[in-house]
Amino acid sequence: MTDHTLASPPDQIRLPVQVMYFDTDAGGVVHNIAYLRFIETARTLLAVQLGMSFEDILRTGIHPVVVRTEIDYRRPARLGEHLQIHGKIAEIGRVRFWVEFEILRDTDGTQLVTCRQSLALVQMPEGKPLRVSEGFPSLGKTE
Q: Report whether the peptide linkage leading into residue 137 is cis, meaning its omega lies within 30 degrees of zero.
A: yes
CB distance 115 to 101 below 8 Å = yes
Residue 110, helix vs strand vs coil: coil
Q: Is 25 a catalytic residue?
A: yes
Residue 24, helix vs strand vs coil: strand
How many whole angstroms separate alpha carbon 32 and alpha carbon 103?
12
Render 30-87 in DSSP notation, one character per residue.
BPHHHHHHHHHHHHHHHHHHTT--HHHHHHH-EEEEEEEEEEEE-S--BTT-EEEEEE
The one catalytic residue in 3, 11, 25, 106 is 25
Longest dimension (CA), the chain: 49
Catalytic positions, written as ranges: 25
